[in-house]
Amino acid sequence: MKAPLVSIVIPAHNEASVIGRNLARLLEGTAPGEFDVIVVPNACTDRTAEVAAAVTGVRVIESPIPGKVPALRLGDEACLTFPRVYLDADVELTAASVRALVAACARPGVLACSPVPELDLARVGRLIGRVHRVHDRMMAPLRALAGAGVYVLTEAGHARVFPMPDVISDDGWVHASFAPHERAVVAEARSVVRPARTVGAHLDRRVRVRRGNRQLAALRVGPDGSGGSSASPSLGSLVRLVRRRTVSPVDATAYLSVLFLDRAVSRLRRDDSAWGSDASTRTPALSGD
């Protein structure tokens, strides 16, 4: 039997409602054994493992230990080949995108890569939908390995990232582990990401993002010890987008309103990591939104 083209690790916690559909999408049009797919249901209380196991070509390794990073490590140990794709269970990725990511890994100097994320805003509230659209357009020129729900490692890149420590932000850890010339965003590949549906859920996620960034800064991860810092979109970039009519004034106002609400909530929660010294002009960098 021919060796698989790629190994794919999918940690999953209570994702029974989406895992079957996403696996079918991932494997549609593939040859038997082309993708080595490992799903790791961790501490699930639903039918995630059963649904995943019913999909032909998928291996399931259940774990009673909760947490994404332990599931990633467990799945990684079972992989058959390189490169390796690490995919969130609620993110859609097609076989064509996987092949494009694998091809990118063959480029000289590339150790890690990710697709371009596309936001599914079908079930998102109107206000937070405006916020997500603005943030996505502000981040587009700065796109990196965090926030796509998918990252891919070559064998050399894997050696730098694993064994992964128990970090809050696994994609932030991966992003920070490589210099800019070692990572690539693959324009031919797309992932479908479902962001927070409500303002409250968005603010809760922002708390987790800040904690993850603070942890990475303390660990001083990365080739330069930067701790995961990356370029952040400034309010100046928002102004430019409005002037170019890429972002409407209504959307920009919604974005700023939620941004300052985030600041107020962070103060109430005494989360000093929410803003740096340039808090008035920058937004936190490694957001999964």
By C-alpha distance, which of 75, 71, 77 is closest to 58?
A: 75
pLDDT at 38 over 90: yes
Q: Return the structure tokens found at 54.
A: 């019913």
- In this structure, the number of other CB atoms found within 10 A of the CB of residue 170 comes to 21
Separation of alpha carbons 241 and 236, rounded Å? 9
Q: pLDDT by residue (tens digit) across 41-75?
A: 999 999 999 999 999 999 999 999 999 999 999 99
Q: What is the distance of C-alpha 123 from the center of its chain?
A: 19
> Average pLDDT for residues 1-22, to the nearest whole number?
96
Q: pLDDT by residue (tens digit) across 106-151?
A: 999 999 999 999 999 999 999 999 999 999 999 988 888 999 999 9
**Lowest model confidence (mean pLDDT) among 78-92, 101-115, 212-226:** 212-226
What pTM, to 2 d.p., does this model score?
0.90
By C-alpha distance, which of 57, 52, 62, 50 is closest to 6?
A: 57
How is 139-160 classified by DSSP, letter by letter? HGGG--STTSSEEEE-HHHHHH
**Extents of the domains making up the chain:** 6-199
- In this structure, the number of other CB atoms found within 10 A of the CB of residue 74 comes to 18
Separation of alpha carbons 11 and 125, rounded Å? 27
By C-alpha distance, which of 129, 275, 117, 278 is closest to 202?
A: 129
Quote the mean pLDDT of the chain. Answer: 90
Judged by phi (left if over 0) then psi (alpha if -120 to 50, else beta), residue 123 lies in alpha
Give φ, ψ of 99 to 5 degrees: -65, -35
6-199 has which CATH code?
3.90.550.10
Q: What angle do CA 279, 281, 283 make, to 5 degrees?
A: 70
